[in-house]
Amino acid sequence: YPRAAHARGRPRPRRGGPPRADRTTARALGADVQPPAVTPGDPDHDALAARLTGVGGLGPIPTDRLVPTNFAGLSHTHWRIEGSGRVLRILTGAQPGSDTGAALRYEAACFERAWPAGVTPRKFGGLPPGPGAPFGGLVVEEITGRIPRLPDDLPAIAQSLARLSLETGTAAAFA
């Protein structure tokens, strides 16, 4: 995937990057680790911490407790809210021509629908677009653990997907 992404004109990630352990994990996944769009000390970092007050029941968040992780999804970055058991997923873009909040609303609906299956993080609240998160974000449950090891973890992955499918009713569509 990374080579194909670069061939389509996406910029290569910065050199240096995350700590060695996270680079090793990313290499094992075949993914590039992107640095967060906002970094501690940026004015937007302070604004982001302030904007989280009240989202999903959070109290005031000191800026030193809002810590970027070294893992980024295809369309979001993760920030650990230390001491809360929660993570802020900041959307990093939206499809051209789409409503800025549409992707956020879609992602929120996916979390709400999938959570009852017990195999996805719980959504606690949404952060509307603004400073530090121009496309918005979601506050979700922090899941600790490790990256799946393939092929050893395939049975557990299949079981999780089956539970998700049964809970959301998508299994009936294929019956």
Residues 52-76: tens digit of each pLDDT:
999 999 999 999 999 988 776 778 8
CA distance 50 to 59: 10
Residue spans of alpha helices (H) in the chain: 2-7, 20-29, 43-51, 100-114, 154-168, 170-173
Q: In what order do the strands lie in the sheet with 123-127?
A: 66-72, 76-81, 86-91, 137-141, 123-127
Give pLDDT tens digits for 123-141: 999 999 888 888 899 999 9
Residue 86 has pLDDT above 80, yes or no: yes
Buried b (16+ CB within 10 A) or exposed e, 112-123: eebbebebbbbb
Check whether 24 has a pLDDT greater than 50: no
CA distance 54 to 168: 29
Dihedral sign (CA 74, 49, 16, 150): negative
pLDDT at position 3:
40
Convert the pLDDT of each residue in 142-165 to its tens digit: 998 888 899 999 999 999 999 998
Q: Strands (DSSP E) along 59-161, which ranges?
A: 66-72, 76-81, 86-91, 123-127, 137-141
